[in-house]
Amino acid sequence: MKYIIFIIINLIITISYSQNISGVVLDSNHIGIENASVYVWSSVQKDHLIHYMYTNPEGKFSIEFEGKKEVYIEIKCINYDIFYKNIDLKNNNIEIILNKKETILEEVIINNQKAVSVKNDSTFYNPEKFLNGTERKVEDLLKKLPGITVNDNTGQIKFKGKDIETVKLENDDLFGSNYMLGTKHISVDMIEQVQAIENYSSNNLLKNIENSDKIVLNLKLKKNKTDFSGNINAENGYGKSILTSNEITVLGINKKISSYLLRSYN
C-alpha cells in the first residue's frame, strides 16, 4: 500500500512540473508553415527563454518543459507577421495562423540569423538574440543561453548537464580549468558568437576518430574591439586602476591579441 502511495505521489509531482505545448503553425490558407521559429518565454518582457524549436514540414511543433502555469509563445517566419501571445497551459494544443507581411521591396531588410543553430557536434549561439542590455560580462550572457547553466557561487559551467573542460577565446586556451577568469571579466560587448563543442579533441587529426566526452566553449570575438578589465579578489569589484590587494587580475582582450596577468601581493 505504501509503495502504491509513493508511486502516486511521484506521478503527481511529475505531472505538476512537466508541461507540454503542442500546436501547428498555418498560413491564411490553413497550409502548414515549415521551419517557423517557435520561442517559449517565461514573461512578456522576454527576460528568460525557456525553449525553442522549428516547425516540421507540416507546421507542427511540440515542446516539453518544467514548471510554469502560463508562458508566452512567439512565432517568427520570414515574410510573415510575428505572433506573440500568452498561453494558458490548460489548453496546450493550439492552432496559430500567421498573416503574410505586406512590405515595400525597397524597404525590406532581411535578417535570417538564428538564435541557436547546430552543426555536427557544435552548437552556435547568437548573443544578440538573448541580450536585453542588463548584461555586463560573459557570465551574464551564458546564464541566458538554453542548454548552458552557470553555478552562481563558483562560476562553474555545464552544457546539457555535463561539466565543460574550459572556455577558449578564438580557439586559444588561455585559462585552462580556471576559465572563470575569462567569463567573469570579459565584457559581453566583445562577443560575436558562443560555440559549445561536444566530443572535443585538441588534436585535429584525431577529432573524427577519438571517442571523446569532453565539452568546451569557444568565444568568437568581434573585430576592432578591445577590452581591458581588472578586479580585486573578484568579489570586491572591478576597476581599471588597482593599487593594493592580495590578488590582482588584469585582462586584456582583442581580436588579434588575448592575454591576462595574475599577480599576488602581500
- Cell (9 digits) for 125: 549561439
DSSP label of 137: B
94-99 CB contacts, 8 Å cutoff, 24+ apart? 94/21, 94/22, 94/23, 94/24, 95/23, 95/24, 95/26, 96/23, 96/24, 96/25, 96/26, 97/26, 97/27, 97/28, 97/30, 98/25, 98/26, 98/27, 98/28, 98/33, 98/36, 99/28
Looking at residue 20, what is its pLDDT?
A: 79
CA distance 53 to 73: 11
Alpha-carbon span 35 to 57, nearest angstrom: 7
Cα angle 182, 183, 189 (rounded to 5 degrees) comes to 100
Residue pLDDT, tens place only, 48-103: 888 888 999 999 998 887 766 678 889 999 889 999 988 876 667 889 999 987 65
pLDDT of residue 196: 94
Is the CA virtual torsion 140, 144, 146, 151 positive or negative? Answer: positive
Cα end-to-end span (Å), the chain:
66
- With contact defined as beta carbons under 8 Å apart, do 247 and 264 qualify? yes
For 224, the grid coordinates are: 576592432
Mean pLDDT per 10-residue interval, the chain, length 266 residues: 45 53 91 91 80 90 76 88 83 85 51 78 91 91 92 92 90 85 86 92 58 86 62 42 41 52 43
- The 10s digit of each residue's pLDDT in 17-35 is 567 788 899 999 999 999 9
User: Cα separation of 110 and 44, whole Å?
Assistant: 25
Domains along the sequence of the chain with CATH? 17-97 (2.60.40.1120), 116-227 (2.170.130.10)
Q: Cell 557536434 identifies what position?
A: 121
* pLDDT at position 189: 87
